[in-house]
Structure 1
């Protein structure tokens, strides 16, 4: 796992565990995890992860990962970048495709795939480091193998 992937994974975890209201606060939390970085780097990470500010109970604004927006289509280049950075393995069985990611990263990949409008993909189910993609019935003759090949290619992985 690259330093960037580890840092972004840690940011995702910290935002889920703490009410993080500012980048300086996030920098302190990262430092507590042994990850010294700059505010500019954290700002880029937050942007790449799609982190937003939401109003928490009590009126404070805190960072959060957005809910899946099914009507927002992700640009193809963004999908290729997300898959290339976060997907470690792609395999298939029947009409299912299983993708493996570093711990805590499956939801990032699932969200990008769900917003990708890739033909033949019905949707995803994400855990911590694994997600399942369901191939549409129109792809059933080839099963998930064709979808797996496309995703493997987008991720830059060899068959």
Structure 2
């Protein structure tokens, strides 16, 4: 079966959590066994997008792993810029609220990246399907935050 890029990458993440995957070819085979069509080149790009790295296990074997990004760790600026540039299609602000629009099913990706980024002036986010609400500090901070998000998204 053909999955969207996000669905396929989610499936790859699940496989890497449950299996010791030593090569891209092995990962292609595991995906095929799960009924997912993917080439080695596609898997290679997916692993890079996911930030997967090879780590040495206790037995000395090198396996792929996707490092977790804890909620209290600040997301790198390049990651935030890439997420916003890829997923944000519109930003509007009013007082201390910023409304960010994304393609359907993508708002949570942007909200998570913003929550982890620790940008100044942002209190938190609430994500729906294709829209997220960014709550800025009280007063007119929404305009500043909105302008910052538009710049990061390249809008």
- Per the normalisation by structure 1, the TM-score is 0.64
The alpha-carbon distance between structure 1 residues 116 and 14, as it changes in their structure 2 partners (threshold 3 A), is same
Tell me which stretches of 4 or more aligned residues in structure 1 moved more than 6 Å.
12-15
Contact 1:135 1:147 (C-alpha < 8 Å) held by counterparts: yes
1:93 aligns with 2:91: no
Map 1:12-51 onto structure 2 (within 5 A). Answer: 23-24=27-28, 25-26=30-31, 31=37, 37-49=38-50
Given candidates 121, 136, 142, the residue that maps to 1:144 is 142
- How far has the Cα of 1:30 moved from its partner? 5.3
Identify if the C-alpha distance between structure 1 residues 29 and 114 changes in structure 2 by more than 3 Å, giving closer, same or farther: farther
RMSD (Å), alpha carbons: 3.2
Structure 1 counterpart SS, 2:105: coil
Alignment of 1:1-159 (within 5 A): 7-11=4-8, 23-24=27-28, 25-26=30-31, 31=37, 37-49=38-50, 69-137=70-138, 140=139, 142-157=140-155
SS of equivalent residue, structure 1 residue 99: strand
- Are the counterparts in 1 of residues 121 and 141 from structure 2 also a CA contact under 8 Å? no
| Structure 1 unmatched runs, 5+ | 1-5, 32-36, 52-63
- The higher radius of gyration belongs to 2
* SS of alignment partner, residue 117 of structure 2: coil
TM-score (norm 2): 0.66
Query: Kindly tell me: are residues 115 and 89 of structure 1, through their superposed partners in 2, closer, same or farther at Cα, counting changes over 3 Å?
Result: same
- Number of residue equivalences: 131
Task: Specify every segment of 5 or more residues in structure 2 that has no aligned partner in the other structure, as ranges.
Answer: 22-26, 53-65
